[in-house]
A = this chain, B = another copy of it.
């Protein structure tokens, strides 16, 4: 090391870097077909269409009487319509009666409308008068209190768009029209490799000078939460041979490799050299216009993304959110969604520098009037507990040199 050692790289914004990276990813995991009931959180690969109308038959949406609407026209409490009750519609079966003019059939919510009837009178608008007759005290319009065939969804309609993450209600929509199998994208396999001579596995007691490797575990949990299958490939030492060997086998067994390397310049150089040897075209970007996370490395090796994250756990976690989660979404064909956020008033000034986007951990405080305040969590940017004490992130935009206390800001969930 000499006093003139510097890193020369031109930073890009995260979006610019992603715009360069994503088109080069030719290794996209295949689709798979799953039982719909097991597909929560998975991504729709092929937009399913309704194979049938829902409902398949006109249903009553009330307890009451199935009638011909015309028979009720002009009915009032003082001048009711008199109808003869022809029978009761069974639940879950085709009615075996036909409602003729002057007749009604007792019907319950969800039952199939009998032939002849075109409306349902709510029971509250009727009065039994004995001898199998009722008074109807208010008119109904044709179609009233009925769910028509195909009113929920029509045969042939697209049910869910490609790229949507399946929510509980989406499972319901698929099952409602009998789609019990659904084609979803595969969960990308993300290999995680740490490097650093100072690292030991978390279950080991570190000797003086050593620390526990946590990045692989934080990142694995974050990626799993997003839908990936994460695999942890241990710790490589800071030598080319060991790091290259472990990176090679990790990447070969996965759809993507995320390295978390030490933060010294020489280790970053080593990481870059290793990544560049994993496949063509290799390195495409070193340096992002973000803080923390500037010395991040992006590469594409034989169609697969390889990301080198800083060793600093805060940098690794925050740049992974911004950069790696969108890559995972891309690999699993997920349409980007708005991350959950709230609006809050900043309690303290945040200093920044133009030309980079800062992520600042904050605590969200609920004020007496129901509004929110965002209080920056102070502490050096390499302290993992700043992220644990925080419940949100505030972003200082690229072209801003800071945010003043009192500014209304968007706080993203952390």
- Enumerate chain A interface residues (CB-CB to B < 8 A): 1-6, 36-37, 40-41, 54-57, 59, 61, 63, 90-95, 106, 108-112, 123-124, 126-128, 134-135, 147, 151-153, 159-160, 167-173, 175-176, 178, 180, 196-199, 202-203, 205-212, 214-215, 217-222, 224-225, 238, 262-267, 311, 313, 317, 338, 340-343, 364, 366, 379-380, 382-385, 387-388, 413-414
How many monomers of this chain does the complex have? 2
Q: Which residues of B contact A5 (CB under 8 A)?
A: 63, 123
A310 to B106, CA, bound (A): 21
Chain B nearest CB from A181 CB (Å) reads 10
From B56, B171, B219, give the contact of A221 (CB < 8 A).
Answer: B171
**Alpha-carbon distance A7/B156, docked complex (angstroms):** 40
Q: Looking at the assembled complex, report how far the CB atom of A228 sits from the nearest CB atom of chain B, in whole angstroms.
A: 12
Minimal beta-carbon separation of A170 from chain B (angstroms) = 6
- Provided the pairs A217-B172, A217-B175, A387-B169 are in contact, do residues A92 and B199 lie with their beta carbons within 8 angstroms? yes
> Do residues B110 and A211 form an inter-chain contact, with CB atoms below 8 A?
yes
- A111 and B209 in contact (CB under 8 A), knowing A3-B127, A198-B91, A217-B171? yes
Contact yes or no, B111 A198, CB < 8 A: yes
Inter-chain pairs besides A93-B209, A175-B202, 19 sampled, C-beta below 8 Å: A2-B128, A3-B128, A5-B63, A6-B124, A54-B385, A57-B209, A92-B198, A92-B199, A92-B209, A111-B198, A112-B208, A147-B383, A168-B218, A168-B225, A172-B214, A172-B217, A173-B385, A173-B388, A176-B202
Contact of A211 (CB < 8 Å), options: B55, B167, B222? B55
A386 to chain B, nearest CB (A): 8
Show 10 A/B contacts (Cβ-Cβ < 8 Å), sorted by A: A5-B63, A91-B198, A91-B264, A92-B207, A108-B262, A147-B382, A168-B219, A172-B218, A175-B202, A338-B364
Nearest neighbor of A204 in chain B, beta-carbon distance? B178
B384–A123 CB distance below 8 A: no
Quick check: B56 and A206 within 8 Å, CB to CB? yes
Per the bound structure, the CA–CA distance linking A121 and B225 in Å amounts to: 40
Cβ–Cβ contact A92 & B197, under 8 A: yes
Write the chain B residue with the least CB distance to A318.
B169
A342 to B219, CA, bound (A): 27
Q: Which residues of B contact A110 (CB under 8 A)?
A: 196, 198, 211, 262-264, 311
Task: Please state if B175 and A57 are interface contacts (CB–CB under 8 Å).
Answer: no
Which of B176, B225, B382, B385 is A61 in contact with, Cβ under 8 Å?
B382
